[in-house]
Amino acid sequence: MALLSACSAGTPPGPASSPVPTPSAGVSVPSTTASASPLTTALPSEPVEPTTTNTLPPPPDPTGPDPSTAGNLDADELPRPGGWRTVEAEGGEEEGYQGNGTWVHARDARYAAQAVITIGCADITRDDYPDPTLALEGTYENADGAPGIGLVLQFGDADTAGRYWSRYGEQVRACTTVQEPVHTELVDLGPAARGETLMDRRTYPDGEWTEVGVRRGDRVTLLVLSDEGHAISRAQAGRIIDQVP
């Protein structure tokens, strides 16, 4: 998901390769990344960026098709929203992967988790959240050809997944108070939503998207769907969540 990063007309924010996986229960997907080199002292008018030695190198260019499974994760782990169809993605250097002839592909879990959590409205470093062990991404398209991305992140245990989910929720909520790089509005899914869930409506400078997410046990699942006019309803989000194993 970047299930959730700055978006373009063809690449959604959130779980994409750029969620576009978090949230707390009832609220429940690269923008701000840590620098790999020490930062000079900021001017008084500039915020001081967080620093960490726990950084990721630039991701390597894809050299061949990515697997269609990631450990025990396969296409059955991702929901299939009503009104959307799964589509084979070609990928490429910009997307960070090569297509494999299916609609799902494995991701390096570290980069996938970083891409969705660094939304850009609040500072965060890799010291602030745990890495998952596995990541699988899927690509969707609606009847108008608009894109969507699904991402499932598997962690070492439920507690670790819960820590990531909670920190992710803080990042999403931080975007409710700003307009750039993205503005989010949280949607209360009510008591009918099963488990720890999320729905937020996102407005980027070049488009509108809706994110739906859930944390179940050691997994975090995030979907970011192009949604001009924010027409995706709470009921539709609930049906997506109900499909998550």
CB proximity list for 119: less than 8 A, separation 6 or greater: 4, 5, 13, 29, 31, 32, 171, 172, 174, 175, 181, 182
Where does the pLDDT of residue 94 fall: very low under 50, low under 70, confident under 90, or very high at 90 and above? confident
Structure confidence by residue, pLDDT tens digits, 121-139: 999 999 999 999 999 999 9
| pLDDT at residue 194 is higher than 80 | no
Tens of pLDDT, residues 97-120: 888 999 999 999 999 999 999 999
How far is 101 from 99, CA to CA, in rounded Å? Answer: 6
Give the whole-number percent of the chain exceeding pLDDT 90: 66
Count of other CB atoms within 10 angstroms of residue 55: 15
Average pLDDT, the chain: 82
Which domains are delineated in the chain?
Answer: 75-243 (3.40.1000)
Examine the pLDDT at 12 and tell me if it is beyond 60: no
The pLDDT, as a whole number, for residue 96 is 78
Q: What's the rounded mean pLDDT across residues 7-26?
A: 40
Q: In the beta sheet, which residues pair with residue 66?
A: none
